[in-house]
Amino acid sequence: MTFDAELVFSALRALTPVLFAALGGALCERAGVFNVSLEGTMLTGCFAAVAGSWYTGSAWGGVLAAVLAATLFSAILAVGAVSLGADAVVVCIALNLLAVGLTGFLLRTVFGTQGTFSDPDLKGLEPVDIPGLASVPFVGPALSGHSPLVYLSWVAVAVTAVLLSRHPWGLRLRGVGEAPEAAQSLGVSVTRYRYAAVLTSGALCGLAGAQLALGNVTLFSENMTAGRGWIAVVAVMLGRALPVGVLLAGLLFGLVEAIGFRLQGEGLPQQAADAAPYVMTLVALFLATRPAFRDRRLVRRRRPAPPATDAPSHPDPAATPLETAR
């Protein structure tokens, strides 16, 4: 196996759905909402993208439908976790289960089929050839010829980074996540900012679903996200909810997936190739948390002894708790 432009091209295609979803998860994390419903929201976007493309006859109609459907789907999380104060993890797990059942039901109801829906008339996203870049050796074949959403994901990383580090809205969003009481005391609406973060996360997951269903392939299959939303959650954790860190973590998983496909073509069993990104996820989590555990052990070992007091070592049993404390 060689590291060539085709491998990089495949890695970038695999990266894009994970990157969009992970950016949405990072915004929620910065706002103080732990969003693990990325898988279900992305799956909803996949179905809406195919349905929108089918009924409008336009791939961009499918992208718009995916964004709207995923945003509405994430509104359930916003109402449950932000307005009603429910546990976000519980609500997210329910949403993931709902998305699997709902898309499977709609597949039978809307398209009259089960398993997979594809049609020659279904419009997918056309690749974009960047002028002047396609002729550059290695760089051109690796970076040119992707769908527009691939390039939009790179722009989204830059915009999110500037938004969180420079723009007043992003700074207030971080304040809402780090110290909501202090932000509330300064007149910042915690509810409004958390709603904005969750709904924006839904829109980004809709773009992820559109890329997966209309960019990487042109079809819808039941549970076609295949754990990519969970990989996005791990990318948020590994990247410390920083846009650039999320990009690097997602690129790692995309490269592993591309290598798995390449090895599958060279005789590796399909099961091993499919499992490669998830094995890498476990390894990355282990390596990322190991220093933290080591630091905690060092803190325990170096914990100073309690300061000496003038109190007797055997206080009078008849003394009150207040007198003993004194």
- For residue range 190-228, list pLDDT tens digits in order: 999 999 999 999 999 999 999 999 999 999 999 999 889
pTM for the whole structure? 0.85
Q: What is the pLDDT of residue 308?
A: 46
Would 322 be classed as within a structural domain? no
Q: What is the CA radius of gyration of the chain?
A: 24
pLDDT in tens, 290-321: 654 444 444 444 444 454 444 444 444 444 33
CATH of the domain at 74: 1.10.3470.10
Quick one: tokens of 51?
């349905």
pLDDT, position 209 = 97
Between residues 139 and 288, the one the model is more confident about = 139
Element (H, E) at 116: strand 116-117
| Inter-residue contact 91 to 76 (CB < 8 Å) | yes
Residue 285, pLDDT score: 73
Least confident of 95-99, 112-116, 129-133: 129-133
Q: What is the pLDDT of residue 161?
A: 96
pLDDT in tens, 249-285: 999 888 988 888 788 777 777 777 777 777 877 887 7
**Does residue 239 form part of some domain?**
yes
Q: How many beta carbons lie within 10 A of that of residue 266, not counting itself?
A: 7
How many other C-beta atoms are found inside a 10 Å radius of the C-beta of residue 78? 24
Residue 121 domain-assigned (yes or no): yes
SS3 84: coil
Which whole number is the average pLDDT over 65-71?
Answer: 98
For residue 189, pLDDT beyond 50: yes
**In the prediction, which pLDDT does 101 show?**
95
Residue 169 scores a pLDDT above 80: yes
Q: Which three-class secondary structure state does DSSP give residue 220?
A: strand
Could you tell me if residue 317 is inside a domain? no
Q: What is the pLDDT of residue 185?
A: 92
Shortest CA distance to 207 belongs to which of 15, 37, 27, 70? Answer: 70
Is residue 179 included in any domain, yes or no? Answer: yes
pLDDT of res. 29: 95
Structural domain contains residue 311: no
Cα separation, 81 vs 77, in Å, equals 6
Residue 173 lies in a domain: yes
For 215, the domain range is: 5-300
DSSP 126: P
What is the pLDDT at residue 1? Answer: 54
Number of domains in the chain: 1
Average pLDDT, the chain: 86
Does the pLDDT at position 160 exceed 50?
yes
pLDDT for the residue numbered 194: 97
Residue 40 has pLDDT above 90, yes or no: yes
pLDDT at 291: 55
Structural domain contains residue 321: no
Dist. CA 163–CA 144, nearest whole Å:
27
Query: Which candidate, 261, 168, 228, places its Cα nearest to that of 38?
Result: 228
pLDDT over 70 for what percent of the chain?
87
The Cβ of residue 286 has, within 10 Å, a number of other Cβ atoms equal to 10
